Amino acid sequence: MITFKSLLKIVSFVIASVMATTLMAQDAPTFSKDIAPILQQKCQSCHNPDGIAPMALISYEQVWPFASLIQDRTSKRIMPPWHLDKGIGIQRYKNDISLSDEQIAAIAAWAEAGAPEGDPADLPAPLEFPSGADWQLAEQLGPPDFVIKSNPYDVIANGQDQWWEPRVSFEGLDSERILRAAEFKPSYPLGKKVVHHGHAVLIPEGERRSVALARYGVGKSWEIYPEGTGMRVPPNGSIAWNLHYFPVGTEVPNDVVEVGLWFYPEDYQPEQETVGEVLYRVDGLKGMARGQDIVIPPHGYQVLQGTHRLESPAVLHSFRPHLHMRGKVMSMEAIYPDGRKEVLSQVNNYDHNWQIAYMYADDAKPILPSGTLLQFTSVFDNTANNPINPDPEQWVVFGRRGVDEMSHAWVGITHINEEQYAQAMAERRAQQETLRLE
């Protein structure tokens, strides 16, 4: 039997709890003032009505139901997707969308306080997002100078990985041009959901060489070369497409992928010539067939290492690991001719659902002398601790499917001569001295 005294205690406790919660909410960050700016800066490029994310995170009404989920995903650094090790290697990147410790703490405090809205007058001005059908680089560079298209492909609703490798004629340029930027654009809206990654490679007419015009992965759709750096594109040939589709439960008939090309003015001669992203293998080296050394036991791990020597000086623009579902870690280290060893970048929480190219800031790009060894290390986790492992009971070997494995890195690289290397190093030392004096 509840006495009046007991009831009074209960009421007093409830009132005290409500007052404490109210006071905590008053002191806590609010959506309008504190959280909305973070979402704008780090999340809304995907979490908008036309984005690839499953929900929009624009208004308070859209965000509030997901407050606890947002706290969970951000505190675990699952979102935004940025899988670099924060404790080692270069930490300055052009496309860094990771949250700072302070931003993560603000989101946690906001969610734990009940996700208060705050004063709508504190909201930042809303952002305008391009349609998923638009070229992302158009706002910066205008419409592309040239567009190539794949042949259409019917993507099934359910099943294993699908590949489409058509050859398409490349013609329409009057002369060789210097490529400044390229963007890989799956169709909208369904193509963006089923195209996992792909390549558009030009085979020049009458030649056996190839020119990689554009490479794509979820998390990397475009590339702009530094000012003064470009890629030579011959006027004729054929495009070899390599498109990796993954069914998502909905048929996608007649899917077409486009690549937009932006050129420097005609007769422009670049100071430095690049070949874009170059594949550096971590598997199947020392005379072995590709992937022959990938053998991951059930409930086990494997570590592979591959080393490549630079025969000329080089500037690195980006680092993009490529592993599959058991891939967990990939590092890129430089072993200099004098014996020094430096970790340039390390992805320590790889997720095959994303193919992020980590683009170095201009003042942080590695400038490497001739004779430098680039050493790559991959770690595979075939245990139940790997959250995207489809079946830890299986032996895993090399293969193109996501349930098989690969081990290589795509590195954006420009080879330079010794004079350009000396100039680049002098400029870097001057930058560092300026920063030291500031």
Q: Is residue 180 part of a domain?
A: yes
- The secondary structure of residue 33, as a DSSP letter, is I
Place of tokens 């050493």: 375
Q: Is residue 206 part of a domain?
A: yes
The verdict on 393 and 349 lying in the same domain is yes
Place of tokens 């930027």: 181
The verdict on 232 and 106 lying in the same domain is no
Q: Mind listing the pLDDT tens digit for each residue in 368-427?
A: 999 999 999 999 999 999 999 999 999 999 999 999 999 999 999 999 999 999 999 999
Q: Mind listing the pLDDT tens digit for each residue in 145-163?
A: 999 999 999 999 999 899 9
User: How many domains does the structure of the chain reveal?
Assistant: 3
Query: Which structural domain range is residue 65 located in?
Result: 4-122
Q: Is residue 20 part of a domain?
A: yes
Place of tokens 């089923």: 194
Task: Give the other-Cβ count within 10 Å of 253's Cβ.
Answer: 10
pLDDT at 18 over 70: no
Least confidently predicted of 42-51, 90-99, 263-272: 42-51
Give pLDDT, residue 269.
Answer: 93
The verdict on 334 and 365 lying in the same domain is yes
Q: Mind listing the pLDDT tens digit for each residue in 232-246?
A: 999 999 999 999 999
Map residue 63 onto helix, strand or coil: helix
| Encoded tokens for 252 | 């996608």
- % of the chain at pLDDT higher than 90: 83
Q: At which of 237, 270, 303 does a domain end?
A: 270
The verdict on 285 and 417 lying in the same domain is yes
Q: The domain that contains 347 carries what CATH number?
A: 2.60.120.230
Please compute the mean of the pLDDT values over residues 179-205 and round it to a whole number: 94
Residue 398 CA from chain centroid, whole number? 23
Which of 218, 269, 236 shows the shortest CA–CA distance to 146? Answer: 236
How many residues are listed for the chain in this entry? Answer: 438
Q: Is residue 364 part of a domain?
A: yes
Q: Is residue 80 part of a domain?
A: yes
239 to 147, 192, 195, 215: CA distances (angstroms): 12, 21, 18, 13
The verdict on 284 and 417 lying in the same domain is yes
Q: At what angle do helices 67-75 and 101-112 cross, to 10 degrees?
A: 150
Which of 262, 108, 63, 284 shows the shortest CA–CA distance to 177? Answer: 262
Q: Mind listing the pLDDT tens digit for each residue in 320-347?
A: 999 999 999 999 999 999 999 999 999 9
Please compute the mean of the pLDDT values over residues 288-300 and round it to a whole number: 95
Map residue 263 onto helix, strand or coil: strand
Peptide bond into 37 cis (omega under 30): no
Please compute the mean of the pLDDT values over residues 130-143 and round it to a whole number: 91
Residue 200 CA from chain centroid, whole number? 18
Please compute the mean of the pLDDT values over residues 357-367 and round it to a whole number: 96
Q: Are 178 and 231 in contact (CB under 8 A)?
A: yes
The verdict on 16 and 114 lying in the same domain is yes
Q: Is residue 198 part of a domain?
A: yes
The verdict on 282 and 266 lying in the same domain is no
Q: Is residue 131 part of a domain?
A: no
The verdict on 145 and 12 lying in the same domain is no
Residue 8 CA to residue 26 CA, distance in Å, equals 27
The verdict on 420 and 305 lying in the same domain is yes
Which of 313, 414, 319 shows the shortest CA–CA distance to 371? Answer: 313
Q: At which of 229, 249, 270 does a domain end?
A: 270
The verdict on 218 and 326 lying in the same domain is no
Give pLDDT, residue 4.
Answer: 46
Give pLDDT, residue 437.
Answer: 77
The verdict on 30 and 142 lying in the same domain is no
Map residue 359 onto helix, strand or coil: strand
Q: What band does 223 get if pLDDT is binned at 50, 70 and 90?
A: very high
The verdict on 283 and 423 lying in the same domain is yes
Please list the residues that pair with 93 across neighbouring strands: 360
Q: At which of 247, 270, 293 does a domain end?
A: 270
Give the torsion through C-alpha atoms of 132, 43, 325, 345, to 10 deg: 110
pLDDT at 21 over 80: no
